[in-house]
Amino acid sequence: MTILASLARLYERMAEKGQAPLPGFSTENISFAVVLDADGTPLRLADKRSHAGRKPAPVPMAVPAGSRTSGIKPNMLWDKTAYVFGVIAVESETEEGKTVLIPGQGKRTAEEHAAFVEAHLALLADATDPGLIALRNFVGRWQPGDFALLGFPAEALDQNIVFEFDDGSGPGFVHTRPAALQLLTVPAEGEGGLCLVSGESGPVERLHPKIKGVMGAQSAGASLVSFNNDAYESFGKAQGENAPVSRAAAFAYGTALNALLARGSARNIRIADSTVVFWAEAPVPAVADFGDWLMGAAVNPPDEQDALNEMRAALINLAEGRAGDDPRLDPKARIYMLGLAPNAARLSVRFWFPGTMGGFARNVTQFWQDLELEPAPWKGPPAIWSLLYETALLRKAENIPPLLGGQVMRAVLTGQPLPRMLLSAVIGRIRADGDINGRRAAICKAVINRTSRQEEIPVSLDPENTNPAYRLGRLFAVLERAQSSALPGLNATIKDRYFAAASATPARVFPLLVKNATHHLALLKKGESGGIGHWLEKELGSIWLGLGADLPRALSLEDQGRFIAGYYHQRWTKSTKEEEAK
C-alpha cells in the first residue's frame, strides 16, 4: 500500500471516531470564543484555552479550512483578532513605567477587518438560521473600539477567535451548526480523473494540502506532492493534474498526516534531520510505544532500567511470535512508519516502512543483537538515534550528517545492512577526537557483521581470530599498555599520537611502535612491575604468532573497523585484568 493510500485509510478511521475534521475543515489552535445572543450582541468572550500547564495554551479545534499564506484573505466563521475585531496587541507604557498590551491597530488591520466584514455579509446575506443571523448582525454592527468598551481581556489579542450562539439553552459553536455546514459546502468542480489513491473518478486536486510540523520545514507548511516548474509537467497537464489525486483523497491524507505531526501527538519523534510519524492499522494501544522503542527508552519511567528490560522482553516475545499475556501486543497488527525531512518548500521522504508489529520487533531485536559487545557500552537496549551522536562533532544533533539518520532507520526497520557511511563517519570522528569508546566499537562491529552476514567480529575478545586487522588492533592495545605501565603520567600516549596512522597504514607505524615497546618492557621487567612486564611480553608474542611476516601496507575502511573492535576488546576486556592478577 502506498504512503498516500495508507494515510487516507487512517483518516477514515479517525473520522469514524470523531478524531479528524470533516472535509472542508482543518484543525487550528483556538483560544477564545465570542458568545452571541439572538440579536447578535456579544455577551462575553469565553476562554477556550487549556489551563493544564504552567501557561494557558490554545486548544486544537476543527474549523472551516483557510488557505491564507500572504496578503489579505479572511477565514470563514473564525480568524485572529485583527480580522474579527479589527484590533491587534500594541505595547503601551503605564504611569508606573510598566509595559502592557492594549488593543490597537497596525498598518493593515483596518483593511483586514473590512475584508472579514465584507466576506461574511456576503456569505450570510440569505441566511435563515438563528445562529447565522446573529453572526451577521454582530459583524454588521461591530466597531474596533468595542473591544475595550466591553472589557475583553488583552490576552485575547492576536489569538484565534470562533463564535458561539446562545439561544437560551446554552452556547454552541456557530461553525458546527447544520446550516453553516451546508453553507460552507462547495460543489466539487474542476477536471475529473481517475484518482491514483482511491481508484475512483472525481475532481482532481490542483494544489495539494500543506503539511505542518516537520522539523526544519516552513512554518506555513510544506508540500508532500507538488509540481512548481514546467520541467515536471507533461502531456499538457498543469500542477496536480500530473499525478491525479482526488480532492477527497488529498484532504484525507493531508488531514491524517497533520494530525500525526501535531504538537502533543504521541505519534511522532525526531531523529537527526528527520521527523518520523508512525501509526497502526488496528486500534492497538501499543502503537504509542513505537516512539519509546525507537528512542530506546520509556517516557518518564519510575525505574528506567526495569522499564528498558520490560520493553526488551516484550519485543523479544513479539519477534518470536509470542504475545504472552499482554493484550496490546499483536504480532500480525499492521504498522506504518514514515520519515520526512525538509527540502525548501517541499518534503523529502527519508524512509517508508509498512509492515507488522512482529516484523518490526524482529528487526529491532536483531539490531540490538548486532550491537552486543563485551564489556557492554550500554546499560540497556540502545536507542537507534543514539548511534548518530557518535558521528557528530561535539555530539550535537545539528552536526549529524543530514542523510545518515534516514539511511540508518531504513536499514534497522527493514533488516538490511547498515550504511557504509555510518562506519566512515564513526572512524572519521575517532581520527578527529581520539575517543575509542564502546559505542563506536559496537557500531563498527554491527556495520561489518550485517554487511558480511556472518560474525566476523565476535561479541567478546577472540584470541583465535586470525584476521590481520583485528589482531593489529589487539597488538596496538598491548603496546599502549606497555608504554603507560612503564611511563605513567604521560601527557600523550601512542594512542593519541599514532592510532589514526596505525589503523590506516600499519606497515609504516608498527615497526617503530614495537621498537619502542622493547625498551618499555625492559624497563618494566627491571622494576617492581616485573610480573606485568612478563605478561605483556607473553601477550605480544601470542598476538604476533597469528600475523604474517609482512604487515598490511594499508587497511580498507572495513578493516579499520575491525582494528577498532580488536583494540577495544583487548583494551577493556575483563579477562585481561584477571590474567594480570594471576
- Out of 130-139, 293-302, 383-392, 441-450, pick the least confident: 293-302
CA distance 162 to 229: 38
Residue 52: how many other CB atoms lie within 10 Å: 7
CA distance 59 to 77: 17
Residue 475: how many other CB atoms lie within 10 Å: 28
Report which of 492, 478, 484, 494 is spatially closest to residue 538, judged by C-alpha positions.
Answer: 478
Q: Is 426 left (phi over 0), alpha (psi -120 to 50) or beta?
A: alpha
User: What is the residue-averaged pLDDT of the chain?
Assistant: 88
Q: Is the pLDDT of residue 307 over 60?
A: no
Q: pLDDT at position 285, please?
A: 47
- Out of 52-61, 78-87, 319-328, pick the least confident: 319-328
Give residue-wise pLDDT tens across range 95-104: 787 888 899 9
Q: Is the pLDDT of residue 108 over 50?
A: yes
Q: How far is CA 413 from CA 42, 211, 278, 351, 384, in A?
A: 55, 24, 12, 9, 10
Rounded to 10 deg, the angle between the 438-452 and 557-572 helix axes is: 130
Contact 382, 445 (CB under 8 A): no
Q: pLDDT at position 243, please?
A: 87
CA distance 289 to 294: 9
Q: Which is higher by pLDDT, 314 or 459?
A: 459
Q: Is the pLDDT of residue 577 over 60?
A: no
Contacts 24+ apart (CB under 8 A), 523-531: 523/486, 523/487, 524/482, 524/485, 524/486, 529/485, 531/580
What pTM was computed for the model?
Answer: 0.78
Rounded mean pLDDT of 492-520?
Answer: 95
DSSP letter assigned to residue 262: S
Q: Is the pLDDT of residue 298 over 80?
A: no
C-alpha cell read off for 462: 577472540
Give residue-wise pLDDT tens across range 136-193: 999 999 999 999 999 999 999 999 999 999 988 888 999 999 999 988 876 656 667 8
Contact 3, 257 (CB under 8 A): no
Contact 502, 548 (CB under 8 A): no
DSSP letter assigned to residue 398: G
Rounded mean pLDDT of 564-576?
Answer: 84
Q: Tell how far CA 215 is from the center of its chain.
A: 8
- Hey, what amino acid is at 151? G
Rounded mean pLDDT of 359-380?
Answer: 89
Could you tell me the sign of the dihedral formed by the alpha carbons of 246, 410, 422, 417, in that order?
A: negative
Give residue-wise pLDDT tens across range 4-26: 999 999 999 998 888 888 888 88
CB-based contacts of 156, cutoff 8 Å, min separation 6: 31, 32, 45, 81
C-alpha cell read off for 49: 484555552
C-alpha Rg value of the chain to the nearest Å: 32
Q: Is the pLDDT of residue 389 over 80?
A: yes
C-alpha cell read off for 50: 487549556
Q: pLDDT at position 325, please?
A: 55
Residue 186: how many other CB atoms lie within 10 Å: 7
Q: Is the pLDDT of residue 226 over 80?
A: yes
Torsion angle defined by CA atoms of residues 549, 554, 558 and 559, in that order, rounded to the nearest 10 degrees: 30
Rounded mean pLDDT of 395-422?
Answer: 90
Contact 71, 108 (CB under 8 A): no
Q: Is the pLDDT of residue 286 over 50?
A: no
Could you tell me the sign of the dihedral formed by the alpha carbons of 420, 423, 428, 431, in that order?
A: negative
Percent pLDDT > 90 in the chain is 59
CA distance 190 to 197: 18
